[in-house]
Amino acid sequence: MRKTRVDRKFAELGKRREKGFIAYLGAGDPCLEDTVDIVLRLEDAGVDVVELGLPFSDPLADGHVNQEAAARALEAGSTFDGVMDSIVQIRKRSEIPLIFYAYMNPLLVRGFENSIRAAAQAGADGFLLLDLPFEEAGPYRQALKQNNLNAIQLITPTTPDERIDKIVKRASGFVYCVSREGVTGVQDKLAEGAGALVNRIKAKTDCPVALGFGIGTPEQAHDAARLADAVVVGSAIVSKFNHNPHTPEGRANAAAFVGEIVNAVKGV
């Protein structure tokens, strides 16, 4: 398998001894044209990787902020094909690594291999499949590999060591460490035990480990970056872009907020 943009980005970060920053964004929120603009603004703010939520009507792993973002995207008419076209538009102007945060239903309904092939052709770099059990993932991981896409694996605080061993052996791109039990959403502080979980994972793999779920302030991001190779921030970014006016000035204000968190991560 050839190296993806995600692989190359983490290799660059490693050489510079620099922590990575991954930003989550709901694709199609508030519309697909704006998604292109926001991704480019995130890149300008220093984001290393963008995680795009593929709109789905029943996002079980998400808290209310990201659920509402998916609902807005669907209400605005976002479709699978429309999201893929937005990736094509981004690729005309940027090589920032892009991964999809996705549930299986929107992929299976069109045929999983067809969906994966379309994403690869559009310019995506990988998938994080939220509701695909590891034990059932073999054929789907193979489809990702055949299309040169990273298979991002999730590990949670309740994952036993024996299962971590199996998961990391099949991970590519990076391992997503969920900092706490529950759904996405900004919390008051970084979850206790997050560092211990990151260490358990890093003891079993050389794959970069990204820490996410619940991180929403520069202080929390700084603390997370001291533990992991990269930090994922989602709900705080989605909320900031949603609550600012959908104007160039509003977008600039939201992007400046992201830049503050990026700087906190890069300062570790």
CATH code: domain of residue 172 = 3.20.20.70
Q: Which residues pair with 53 in a beta bridge?
A: 26, 101
pLDDT the model gives residue 61: 78
pLDDT surpasses 90 at 63: no
Q: What value does the mean pLDDT take over residues 28-45?
A: 97
Domain count, the chain: 1
By residue range, what is the domain housing residue 25?
A: 5-266
Mean pLDDT along residues 45-58: 97
Predicted confidence (pLDDT) at residue 263 exceeds the cutoff of 80: yes
Query: Active-site residues: which are they?
Result: 51, 62
HEC letters along the chain: CCCCHHHHHHHHHHHCCCCEEEEEEECCCCCHHHHHHHHHHHHHCCCCEEEEECCCCCCCCCCHHHHHHHHHHHHCCCCHHHHHHHHHHHHCCCCCCEEEEECHHHHHCCCHHHHHHHHHHHCCCEEEECCCCHHHCHHHHHHHHHCCCEEEEEECCCCCHHHHHHHHHCCCCCEEEECCCCCCCCCCCCCCCHHHHHHHHHCCCCCCEEEECCCCCHHHHHHHHCCCCEEEECHHHHHHHHHCCCCHHHHHHHHHHHHHHHHHHHCC
Query: Residue 121 is encoded by which pair of tokens?
Result: 């052709």
pLDDT of 187 above 80: no
pLDDT at 180 over 90: no
pLDDT for position 60: 82
Residues 126-131 have a mean pLDDT of 96
Q: So what's the pLDDT on residue 109?
A: 97
